[in-house]
Amino acid sequence: MSENREEDIELMLSCLEENDGELTDLLKKRRYYLRELSVLIAASEDTGSSLSPSESLVEQYNMLLERLEENLPEDRLSDPFMSSYMKHNRDLTLSSLCRMLANGIKGKKLSSSPMPGSSRVCYFRNRFSDDAYLAFSPLLKDATASYTDDFGSACEEVFLGRTDHCIIPFASYSDGLMPRFIGLMQKYELFISLSCRIVSGDGSFTTFVLLSSGPACVKGADRLALTANVGSSCPLQKLLSIASNLGAVTLSCDLLPERLSPSEAYYLIFDVSECGSDALILALTLALPSLTVNGLFKEIKFND
């Protein structure tokens, strides 16, 4: 160091700028290698899909994860700065790889799963569900409505193929997520395609969802719902961290009652408007194969 403090500061700033340039070049190389790696992996005839990756893809991903863990030497991890940087770099590497793989694998993508050609909608009729139908119908092709004696019967009609969609409550102002209706979705294996919040005169609200018999989403779908049975191998915080690294925002995280899941399970909803939904699904499924996707949907504004 010289005796001139200002000169020393300027020298250090110049060194950091030079270092930033070197890092930028290294990151460009790293991105190139990741892209080539994703192309090689995706070229396999057996990759599955983002919703259901094959055993081969899972094995290759886990092998890469092990290699990245091996590249975190103990002497570097003992330094707080280096430890934080290396772990962050590993997480970003996995996130980038999942984005590239989601674009490259040949299997079906949830984001490109079309709505049914017809739009027969079934629901238990009351003032609030009528409002939900009015909110949903403009986004459906030639929507027609039929009615049942209860919401469970509406779900069964979709399951049996007698109608294309049903409408049920999902959450409320006073109770939050409604386990009873989550149970109906699980029982009849239905997926969320649309949601809307119906507001009462006193300011309270009920959220209704439009359900389909298989993955189906409208243009602009930006909400992802899933059920995660977490455990020691993949704790909840790890899933939330993966989602955050990919640019998703956690909107809700509800612990499901034991009658719906004997193990610790959470119902999660993410805002995926700023990230690729297929990349997020793939990353979360690779981390937790038992994860269940409940829908990629659009939230409709009605009478807020």
CA angle 277, 61, 230 (to 5 degrees): 65
Domain residue limits, the chain:
5-108, 110-304
User: Tokens representing 17?
Assistant: 């700028």
User: Tokens representing 160?
Assistant: 């049996």
Walk along the chain (304 residues) and give the pLDDT tens digit of each residue. 556 788 888 889 999 988 888 888 888 888 888 888 888 877 776 777 777 888 888 888 888 878 877 766 665 567 777 777 777 777 888 888 888 888 877 666 777 777 777 789 999 999 999 999 999 999 898 899 999 999 999 999 999 999 999 999 999 988 888 989 999 999 999 999 999 999 887 888 999 999 999 888 888 899 999 999 887 778 899 899 999 999 999 999 999 988 887 788 999 999 999 888 889 999 999 888 888 999 999 998 876 5
SS3 call for 28: helix
Pick from 299, 260, 290: nearest CA to 178: 260
Q: Report how far residue 229's alpha carbon sits from residue 26's, in angstroms, rounded to the nearest whole number.
A: 38
> Helices (H) and strands (E) in the chain — how many of each?
9, 10
Question: Is the CB of residue 34 less than 8 Å from the CB of residue 99?
Answer: no
User: Tokens representing 21?
Assistant: 């340039």
* Placement of tokens 């009729």 in the chain: 125
- Dihedral sign for Cα 286, 288, 289, 294, please: negative
Question: Is the CB of residue 206 less than 8 Å from the CB of residue 171?
Answer: yes
Q: Report how far residue 152's alpha carbon sits from residue 204's, in angstroms, rounded to the nearest whole number.
A: 24
Q: Report how far residue 121's alpha carbon sits from residue 111's, in angstroms, rounded to the nearest whole number.
A: 22
Question: Is the CB of residue 131 less than 8 Å from the CB of residue 303?
Answer: yes
Q: What is the pLDDT of residue 2?
A: 57
For 163, other C-beta atoms within 10 Å of its C-beta total 23
Residues 6+ apart with CB under 8 A from 263: 229, 231
Q: Report how far residue 163's alpha carbon sits from residue 144's, in angstroms, rounded to the nearest whole number.
A: 10
Q: Quick one: residue 159, left, alpha or beta (phi over 0 = left, psi -120 to 50 = alpha)?
A: alpha
Integer angstrom CA distances of residue 55 from 11, 61, 289: 53, 10, 10
- Which H or E run includes 189? none
* Placement of tokens 């995706």 in the chain: 42
Pick from 265, 250, 234, 253: nearest CA to 58: 234
Q: What is the pLDDT of residue 61?
A: 83
Query: Which homologous superfamily is 110-304 in?
Result: Periplasmic binding protein-like II (3.40.190.10)
* Placement of tokens 């490259």 in the chain: 104
Q: Report how far residue 294's alpha carbon sits from residue 140's, in angstroms, rounded to the nearest whole number.
A: 20
pLDDT digits (tens, 9 = 90+) for 24-47: 888 888 888 888 888 887 777 677
